[in-house]
């Protein structure tokens, strides 16, 4: 009996040992596109899910109150006994329309946040590659200093400084690994995946410049932004509910305040739109500037490789240029990511946001 139990336990242990790596590989080998990441986030985000539940509940309230509304008041000449019904109905109707619009705006913002998190993983992967290349370069430089030191052509201070650069490069790798882990954690959290998952991201960070007229973008933002719609809707509601105030002056004051909010919101959104437009154009100019620098360095690298074949330059010379190219490309990658996010934020205001999945 004891032998059978022992055999059973050993079998279960063996299956567990086999299953754990398989599970780890499954978590590591899965792929993730940006669209799928956004889908996962939209279906997982509890605030989005609760907002939809609140909308469903508010619709029930609205429908129930609507049955009690027998006519539409257009001035103060209405049956005062209906005051509470009207106040409740128009209040709930306003609440429902606000919630529906806000839910759509929140979905857009969530997709922007997912895009940022997705890009952050890509950028930190590239940073880790840069740090690893930097370590290789510093090890070669340290070995060169050591060789010079052995023949009396370098001092102990030179050797210690070279050693310190290697130690620093190793620390930079650890730091980059930590940043990559954090980036994956944030992406997994926002998409509802296992916190330790390491999906392979299938997409790269693209750079897609767009031509637009700033004044036209401001006009579109005024006509389409959730913020202005919300303020305008509140003003429309105040224009109706003022009839239900016991003191007419209070109702008129509420309407005037709501109208003032509409105007101030238009001013704020106009300024924000111009700022976003300028930000997009600045990022595009910076991207092109970095592109020229990369082209120049890559040409230098091509010439160095030709010289290396002839034995005219050392390996560290080429690795130094390669390291600088990697650094510039990572800078360019960050610019491309910020350009995408800024452009999406602008489109959220102007009503040009891509259709949500």
Whether 16 maps to a domain, the answer reads no
Whether 62 maps to a domain, the answer reads no
Which pLDDT does position 42 carry in this prediction?
96
Domain that holds residue 330: 207-357
Whether 18 maps to a domain, the answer reads no
Whether 356 maps to a domain, the answer reads yes
Burial 135-157 (b: 16+ CB within 10 A, else e): bebbbbbbeebeeebeeeebeee
Whether 295 maps to a domain, the answer reads yes
Which pLDDT does position 29 carry in this prediction?
54
**pLDDT band, residue 152 (cuts 50/70/90):** very high
Residue 44, token pair as written in the block: 């997982």
**pLDDT band, residue 355 (cuts 50/70/90):** confident
pLDDT of 75 higher than 90: no
Q: Are 169 and 131 in contact (CB under 8 A)?
A: yes
* 182-209 pLDDT, tens digit each: 999 999 999 999 999 999 999 999 999 9
Which residues make Cβ contacts (< 8 Å) with residue 116, sequence separation at least 6? 337, 341
Whether 301 maps to a domain, the answer reads yes
pTM value is 0.85
What is the dihedral sign for C-alpha 126, 127, 133, 136? Answer: negative
* 257-283 pLDDT, tens digit each: 999 999 999 999 999 999 999 999 999
Whether 323 maps to a domain, the answer reads yes
Question: If you average pLDDT over every residue of the chain, what do you get?
Answer: 89
Number of separate domains in the chain: 1
Which pLDDT does position 332 carry in this prediction?
97
Whether 64 maps to a domain, the answer reads no
Measured in whole angstroms, how far is the alpha carbon of residue 309 from the centre of its chain? Answer: 45
């Amino acid at each position: 009996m004891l032998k059978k139990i022992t055999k059973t336990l050993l079998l279960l242990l063996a299956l567990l040992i086999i299953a754990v790596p398989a599970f780890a590989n499954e978590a590591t080998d899965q792929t993730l596109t940006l669209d799928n990441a956004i889908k996962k986030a939209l279906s997982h985000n509890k605030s989005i899910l609760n907002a939809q539940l609140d909308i469903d509940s508010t619709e029930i309230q609205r429908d129930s109150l609507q049955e009690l509304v027998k006519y539409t008041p257009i001035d103060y000449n209405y049956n005062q006994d209906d005051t509470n019904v009207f106040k409740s109905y128009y209040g709930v109707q306003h609440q429902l329309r606000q919630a529906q619009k806000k839910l759509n705006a929140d979905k857009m913002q969530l997709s922007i946040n997912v895009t940022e998190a997705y890009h952050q993983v890509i950028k930190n992967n590239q940073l880790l590659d840069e740090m690893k290349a930097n370590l290789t370069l510093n090890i070669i430089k340290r070995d060169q200093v050591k060789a010079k030191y052995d023949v009396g052509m370098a001092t102990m201070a030179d050797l210690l400084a070279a050693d310190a650069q290697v130690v620093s490069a190793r620390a930079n790798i650890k730091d980059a690994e930590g940043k990559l882990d954090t980036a994956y954690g944030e992406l997994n959290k926002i998409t509802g995946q296992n916190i330790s998952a390491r999906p392979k991201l299938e997409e790269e960070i693209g750079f897609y410049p767009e031509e637009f007229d700033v004044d036209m973008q401001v006009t579109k933002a005024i006509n389409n932004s959730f913020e202005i719609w919300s303020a305008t809707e509140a003003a429309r509601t105040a224009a109706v509910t003022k009839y239900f105030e016991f003191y007419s002056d209070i109702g008129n004051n509420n309407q005037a305040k709501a109208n003032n909010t509409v105007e101030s919101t238009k001013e704020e959104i106009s300024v924000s739109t111009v700022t976003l437009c300028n930000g997009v154009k600045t990022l595009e100019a910076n991207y092109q500037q970095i592109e020229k620098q990369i082209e120049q360095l890559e040409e230098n690298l091509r010439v160095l490789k030709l010289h290396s074949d002839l034995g005219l330059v050392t390996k560290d010379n080429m690795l130094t240029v390669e390291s600088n190219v990697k650094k510039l490309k990572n800078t360019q990658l960050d610019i491309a990511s910020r350009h995408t996010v800024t452009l999406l934020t602008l489109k959220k205001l102007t009503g040009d946001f891509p259709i949500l999945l």
